[in-house]
Structure 1
């Protein structure tokens, strides 16, 4: 029996590839398996090759695999593009409508199955995906009743006839493959899962859920891949908690509207991708100068300009830290798992309120759109911290005829904050330099005093942030230290394990607080490592440069970069690290 396998379905975008993967995954998730899925799709609504690769395991996993056990092909292009991933004992389940063929160097077994023909006989050509699921279930020796509850959930609103029709399609898929399978075929039967109930979600859903749990009650945003799911989730859920979402005319309006709502005291967020963040930069500077909380999600994708809207990349890192003109306090947080995405969304709201500054929650396409099994989230750990909100004591001490010192110079750089509408709580707000009362001032001494005040806010954040660096330290002195951020964690964890099996001592660090950089937390690992490998999805080694800038050790640090739009795979990373060692 197999403890894990990799399954992929491919075809033309718009012909049900996503729903095929969704139904397959949901059924196995409910059986208690761990899953990790990554979807390759085109940046158009219909047409163009797309595929969905899903890894199934009896143990927790956080990345896709290099190789492939089963390929479900709805067209010849799927075989041409993906068959090279199949190992010799793998299988291709292809629609017989296009007379499928494979090259001589592909040793996997090919079965031509009449997916489309069976679907037409049942009265709905779209049901070919259910026939394909039946064939897969047959190969894996899964009880097709495992799929009934999923089919009921998806199609139940259309009536029992549609549910039964889809189940019949699955049954016919089972029968069609069984008629072709030889007695000697290699077993693909999965070992039994633990049967525990877990969530199955994308990172964007976890981020949105985190914002909801953290007290966000308003979102202003403009749709953009791969961030739109955050808005779509909150459109459905926020009204249930007295909140709302507004789709703005562009990203500039979204950022300024979010600033206005935060100024009014409502926890507000916006979300976008690289092109949208470029438009928001001036507004981010405004939030920094006016010391207004602002939480923005940047789901990184291939750039620059329109770039590769539906492909993986991590090239916004430097822009998120230094993109605004002038100098302001700014926080950049980078979760590396779906669970961290949930908790870091809550923390982003807290940090923005406490430090009264912009906070960017940095994700990437693989983390935001990759769907995976998630253990139950611990809501007991959630705390809501609003910071120095002083709507009573401060204003009572003021003369009602004077503005309050909204930008009062304080030892920690954080001034008491008063919501508009508070009695005697009037203060001036402007994007130009200002004095403690908020009134414009070009005084040299005031400029230095206010600038120093703002910039000393974040001095102690790396020491108070819950987990600035995720560390898997297995030894005091390492042959190799692996470093990454965002979605590279899963692949790096597997590489670390493989290298340790080879006899190497390996540590792993995943940077979660990118800015201000947690130098003192990383230094012990850097000092005791013989070599350091920084792994990231960009062409210029942005994270490696930031580490060198803040911590040094230029002579130890090497980079593995990828910018072709595809995720890192564990085996390729393993061989790159072996070469370095």
Structure 2
């Protein structure tokens, strides 16, 4: 028996690959297993190879696995594309319809199962994915009846007969593998899970749920991969809470609508990916100049331009910090797990109102679309903080010719804020430089005072857990630094290095800007070498560390920019290679 394994289903996009993975994964999640799922898909609606790789374990996992135990193939391309991942002793379940072939001499077992034929005999070839799930259940020694609840939830709206047919397809698949093909390998039987109930969700759903929990009731956005699920989730949920989602004509309109809604007193936000953020840059500057709260979610993908819309990358980092023209206060935070995506989104709305500036939640495709087991969320721990938003009783009597000092020079750089229509709250709002009441002003002294006032906000950002630390060694051989979705792969590589006698610490940065130099500096100081793991070609995070902390002679970049996530073994192997080359120690 095994306590974890990796399963992948592949075929042509549009033929039910995603639903196959969903039924399989949700069932195992409800049995109490921990899961991590990642989809490879093309930037088209139908056609092109797609696959869904799901890791199943009796303990928590935060990344996809290096190898593959079971491959379910609906076409030969799936075998050709994914065969290299299969470990010795791995299993391929393939539809007999296409006459599957594997390389000669390989230590992999191929089982041809007539997925399509069995499904057609039951009424429709569309159920071939359920036959495949049944065959998988036989490999894992799972009773087909365990899938009943999920099949009911998934297909119940289509009628009871559809549910019965799908369950029969699962039973037939299991029966064929055992009785016709004589499958019997206990080395792939899964150990029993703990049966605990946990959530299973993608990062985008956690971000959307975090926005709801934070009190956001308006979202303006334009669809774009890999951010669209945030909008799609809230389209279903916000109307029931008195809120609304507007699909705008472009990202420029989305950002300015969100600014307007925030100015009116609502909690509002937008989300997009790299190309959309490029269009929002002028609006982000408007938020900074008018000191209007604005939350933006950036789900990074492969660039530049249209680039790789459905592939993993982390190349927006510098753009999110320095992309706007001029200088404004800006906060950039980067969750590293689905749980953090929920809590950090809540905190983003608090920070935006407390510091009256744009706050960017920086995600990436792997975090946004990768599906993880999530412990129950703690709604009791959520706080709503609105900063210096005044109620009418606190607005001072009108002075200075009847205008409210919306941009009053204050010691902490944060001015009192009102919403439109409040008594004694009248003031100008403009994107040009202005005085304390908002009236345009080009006076040199005023410009200097307002500029310094705005930038003072960055001197006192309060954010819990700016850096996730695992610093158990006083003098580590290696300090790994990463951000967002690389956390799981780094943590597993660390375990292997420790087994080799290498002392390893880890810092995962969650507050990107303003940079947490005081938290990072001591970690770098005591390390012999620093390896910065990131998904881009130019080492943006490594360069940011060098700019803010120094120690360029200690820092080595481990980069990946081919569109695929890091595997634990890649980080482990490359770190060992650095050692052989004399880069480390």
Summarize the Cα distance change of 1:186–1:146 in structure 2 as closer, same or farther, 3 Å threshold: closer
Shift of residue 397 of structure 1? 2.6
Q: Which residue of 2 aligns with 1:469?
A: 467
Shift of residue 124 of structure 1? 1.1
Q: Which residue of 1 aligns with 2:555?
A: 557
Deviations 1:434-492 (A, max 9, x none): 1111011111111110000000111121xx21110011111111110001000000001
- Partner Cα separation in structure 1 for residue 137 and residue 129 of structure 2: 12
Task: Report the secondary structure of 1:555's partner residue.
Answer: helix
- Partner Cα separation in structure 1 for residue 261 and residue 379 of structure 2: 26
Count of residue correspondences: 579
1:248 aligns with 2:228: no
- Partner Cα separation in structure 1 for residue 2 and residue 72 of structure 2: 19
1:515 to 513, 516, 522: 513
Deviations 1:72-131 (A, max 9, x none): 000000000101111121100000111000112532100111001111111111100000
TM-score using structure 1 length? 0.98
Q: Which residue of 2 aligns with 1:295?
A: 295
Q: Which residue of 2 aligns with 1:306?
A: 306
Structure 1 segment 124-163 matched on structure 2, within 5 A: 124-163=124-163
Shift of residue 184 of structure 1? 6.2
- Partner Cα separation in structure 2 for residue 283 and residue 441 of structure 1: 21
Deviates more, 1:80-89 or 1:334-343: 80-89
1:545 aligns with 2:543: yes
Structure 1 segment 9-408 matched on structure 2, within 5 A: 9-104=9-104, 106-182=106-182, 185=185, 187-399=187-399, 402-408=402-408
Question: Could you tell me whether the CA contact under 8 Å between 2:7 and 2:69 is conserved in 1?
Answer: yes
Summarize the Cα distance change of 1:7–1:439 in structure 2 as closer, same or farther, 3 Å threshold: same
2:498 to 497, 500, 506: 500
Deviations 1:47-94 (A, max 9, x none): 000000000000000000110000000000000010111112110000
Question: Could you tell me whether the CA contact under 8 Å between 1:220 and 1:255 is conserved in 2?
Answer: yes
- Partner Cα separation in structure 2 for residue 162 and residue 285 of structure 1: 54
- Partner Cα separation in structure 1 for residue 13 and residue 34 of structure 2: 26
Alignment gaps of 5+ in structure 2: 580-585
Q: Which residue of 1 aligns with 2:577?
A: 579
Task: Report the secondary structure of 1:166's partner residue.
Answer: helix
Task: Report the secondary structure of 2:7's partner residue.
Answer: strand
- Partner Cα separation in structure 1 for residue 435 and residue 302 of structure 2: 42
Q: Which residue of 1 aligns with 2:583?
A: none
Task: Report the secondary structure of 1:88's partner residue.
Answer: strand
- Partner Cα separation in structure 2 for residue 402 and residue 30 of structure 1: 62
Task: Report the secondary structure of 1:579's partner residue.
Answer: helix
Shift of residue 398 of structure 1? 2.1
Shift of residue 183 of structure 1? 6.5
Question: Could you tell me whether the CA contact under 8 Å between 2:299 and 2:364 is conserved in 1?
Answer: yes
Shift of residue 393 of structure 1? 4.7
Q: Which residue of 2 aligns with 1:6?
A: 6
Summarize the Cα distance change of 1:372–1:383 in structure 2 as closer, same or farther, 3 Å threshold: same
Deviations 1:519-557 (A, max 9, x none): 001111100000000000000000000000000000000
Deviations 1:323-343 (A, max 9, x none): 000000000000000000000
Shift of residue 399 of structure 1? 3.4
- Partner Cα separation in structure 2 for residue 196 and residue 121 of structure 1: 37
Question: Could you tell me whether the CA contact under 8 Å between 2:397 and 2:424 is conserved in 1?
Answer: no
- Partner Cα separation in structure 2 for residue 400 and residue 169 of structure 1: 78
- Partner Cα separation in structure 1 for residue 111 and residue 210 of structure 2: 45
- Partner Cα separation in structure 1 for residue 571 and residue 279 of structure 2: 35
- Partner Cα separation in structure 1 for residue 120 and residue 192 of structure 2: 35
Shift of residue 185 of structure 1? 3.8
Q: Which residue of 1 aligns with 2:427?
A: 427
Task: Report the secondary structure of 2:395's partner residue.
Answer: helix
- Partner Cα separation in structure 1 for residue 23 and residue 390 of structure 2: 51
Deviations 1:338-395 (A, max 9, x none): 0000000000000000000000000000000001110101112100000001233553
Question: Could you tell me whether the CA contact under 8 Å between 1:118 and 1:128 is conserved in 2?
Answer: yes
Question: Could you tell me whether the CA contact under 8 Å between 1:111 and 1:180 is conserved in 2?
Answer: no
Summarize the Cα distance change of 1:184–1:176 in structure 2 as closer, same or farther, 3 Å threshold: closer
Deviations 1:252-290 (A, max 9, x none): 000000000000000001000000000000000000000
Deviations 1:193-219 (A, max 9, x none): 000000010000000001100110100
1:536 to 519, 534, 537: 534
Task: Report the secondary structure of 1:396's partner residue.
Answer: coil
TM-score using structure 2 length? 0.98
- Partner Cα separation in structure 2 for residue 400 and residue 459 of structure 1: 30
Deviates more, 1:234-243 or 1:412-421: 234-243
Q: Which residue of 1 aligns with 2:476?
A: 478
- Partner Cα separation in structure 2 for residue 510 and residue 61 of structure 1: 17
RMSD: 1.1
- Partner Cα separation in structure 1 for residue 79 and residue 422 of structure 2: 66
Shift of residue 182 of structure 1? 4.2
Alignment gaps of 5+ in structure 1: none
- Partner Cα separation in structure 2 for residue 337 and residue 152 of structure 1: 30
Shift of residue 142 of structure 1? 0.3
Question: Could you tell me whether the CA contact under 8 Å between 1:89 and 1:186 is conserved in 2?
Answer: no
Question: Could you tell me whether the CA contact under 8 Å between 1:86 and 1:106 is conserved in 2?
Answer: no
Shift of residue 239 of structure 1? 1.5
Task: Report the secondary structure of 1:151's partner residue.
Answer: helix
Shift of residue 12 of structure 1? 0.2
